[in-house]
Amino acid sequence: MSNLLLVLIVVLVAAAAVALVVIGYRLAIARRSQSALLAPPETKTPINAQEVEPDPDQAIISPPVELKEGGTDTGLDSKEELEEALRAEATRAEATKAEATKAEATKAEPLRLRDRLGRTRAAFAGALAGVSGRSSMDDEAWESLEEALISADVGVSTATRLVEAVRASAKAAKIKDGSEVEGLLRREIALLLSPADRTLQMAVSGPTVWMFVGVNGVGKTTTIAKLATREGAAGRHVVLAAADTFRAAAAEQLGIWAERSGATLVRGDEGADPGSVVFNAMASANSRGADLVLVDTAGRLHTKVNLMEELKKLRRIVDKTPDSLTEVILVLDATTGQNGLTQAREFAAAVEVTGVALTKLDGTAKGGIVLAIQSELGIPVKIVGVGEGPEDLIPFDPEEFAAALFGE
């Protein structure tokens, strides 16, 4: 009996083991099936797929696609409408590209005087307002034009000279209509400004020296700094001589610009002899093989005889290097108008000014001073300041200036 019971137990255990194996096998098959259903479809990777890039020329601009219930729908009723939408999208893309190109070109355009002479142009427009509407020019009309030019700070003698020239031209051409006088005036202004060399001269050999003179507050040091930046960008080695030893801020300002432009700064202690600074600057320029020395001098009143004598002394020091001094630039503030003409006379007598740098021309209605300087002193305006940046110090162009006065 005991043997029979033992056999029965063995059979039951074996049956249970077989059942467990079968159940485990079925569970494994079920898991594989579920994984296959949940896995994403297999994609074939092309050879060198990492080197394949989309071709921008093959891109197609498509209108937005709206999905509707029951399938996919473009929202367009016909093939013609789809093509029209594609053309419209392409047109918009071309327009956007054209606007970007135009903006870039505008950014690259050179600075124009016309864009910066709003106040002076308005003053000249006022000078012509009482004339252009006249059907005939009588003595009263000519007097009105002369007074208007004087109010634009052209100066009495220069205004008289211009009106006489215009009046003679009008008579010779039998012009009586006031509207035609504007063209004659513009031509006379261009002629008045034309006969002058406005280039900043360079020495034939050795370092070139440009000396800058003027009263306090006209923008002399700033003008020098802007020129140093411009000439440095052109590849010239520039030496800055901080000979304004009476104003410590002037040397500090030049020092900042020297670092920005890569120029060499030569300075002395506050209150030191300006002549020693100029002497050391010349020595430095010669030893370094520099191309250009820009000499900043102390701002001074043109009525102070002893200070004007000091300028003569500085010039003599520079002249010890023959033919190096090619420019003595008088810096004038355009907003001072006729007072600047008085300064120009005194400085020209002391140090033989070769040209004028006219600053702040963009912020004044007294731009007519350009005509007075040229007409009465024969000193050409060579550079003008029409903004704060280094790029806003530009060569003076007589024809562009004349056109700007008349809004062209």
Instruction: Identify whether the C-beta of residue 258 lies closer than 8 Å to the C-beta of residue 300.
Output: no
Higher pLDDT, 122 or 330: 330
Dump pLDDT digits (tens) for 385-398: 888 888 888 888 88
Six-digit token string for 28: 């494994």
Highest mean pLDDT among 84-88, 114-118, 330-334: 330-334
Q: What is the pLDDT of residue 121?
A: 74
| Rounded (to 5) percent helix, strand, coil in the chain | 60, 10, 30
Q: How many CB atoms lie within 10 A of CB 167?
A: 19
- Structural domains of the chain ordered from first start: 115-193 (1.20.120.140), 208-353 (3.40.50.300)
Q: What is the mean pLDDT of residues 227-239?
A: 94
- Residue 292 pairs with which residues in a beta bridge? 208, 238
First and final CA of the chain: distance in angstroms? 131
User: Is the pLDDT score of 203 beyond 70?
Assistant: yes
The string of DSSP letters for 153-190 reads T--HHHHHHHHHHHHHHHHHTT---GGGHHHHHHHHHH
| 3-class state of residue 110 by DSSP | coil
Say which range, 53-62, 86-95, 215-224, has the weakest mean pLDDT.
53-62
User: Is the pLDDT score of 16 beyond 60?
Assistant: yes
Question: How does residue 31 score in pLDDT terms, banded at 50, 70 and 90?
Answer: low
Question: How does residue 282 score in pLDDT terms, banded at 50, 70 and 90?
Answer: very high
Note the pTM of the prediction, 2 decimals: 0.68
Burial (CB count <10 Å: 0-12, 13-18, 19+), residue 80: exposed
